[in-house]
Every structure is written in C-alpha cells, then in structure tokens.
Amino acid sequence: MAQFQSVALSHSTTDKNVLFKVDAGIQFQTHELNTRWFLDIDFKESDRVSKDDMIESSARTFTADELSKNVSFSFAIPKSKVNTEPGKEEVYAVVDVIPLEEPPQFVRDTATTNQTSVNV
C-alpha cells in the first residue's frame, strides 16, 4: 500500500497569485512499482469559528518508479480565492494518493500538510 512518509506545504506570492508548492514523500510496495498514481489535493483555509473553507482542488499524476518516491508540484491560485477573511489566511492541504490502476492490493492514503500563513 502506498503510504505518505512526509507531506509539506509552502508558498510564495506574486502580484495576483499565491504560488503553493506541495512536497510529498511516498513509500510504495514492490508490486506497486511502475504504476500510475493520482495526487488529489484540496487547499483549505483554517477557520476557528466555522467549517474550514475550501479554496481550490487540483490534481497531478505520476508514476511510482521508485520504492521511496519524492514528488513536488506547484499550483498558482489567485489571491482573490485565498483571501476569505480580513487578515492573514492559514492555509493547509489535504492530499490523497490514489492508484490509477486498481488491483485489490493497491490502497490509497491520505495526509494533511502543515499550515502556512499567507498575507494577501
């Protein structure tokens, strides 16, 4: 079963966008090598008062060509979507690794990144 070993979120900003970067270390089993996987990412804004706001969803595909695979993907999200309330936004991502080839022994995994404070 694919299993997250690490997952982290960082960001930088431009005039109009927040550039988020998701880094993940994923451990695969031998029988999962050379198969395609789907990284599904939900960017959320942490809210202490109400349900966390969904900012955006995105996805990327990759091949599990190593037992211990490090992947890194970048996403540009408009500042207007990230700015959900006054002040800094506390953003995190929920990341799923999902097999695109689904024999019964291939199992998905989910991890949540750290929060990053975005000044928009």
57-78 pLDDT per residue, tens? 999 999 999 999 999 999 999 9
Fold annotation for 3-114: Immunoglobulin-like (2.60.40)
Residue ranges with strand state E in the chain: 3-13, 17-27, 36-45, 53-63, 68-78, 89-99, 109-112, 116-118
Q: pTM of the prediction? A: 0.87
Report pLDDT digits (tens) over 91-108. 999 999 999 876 656 677
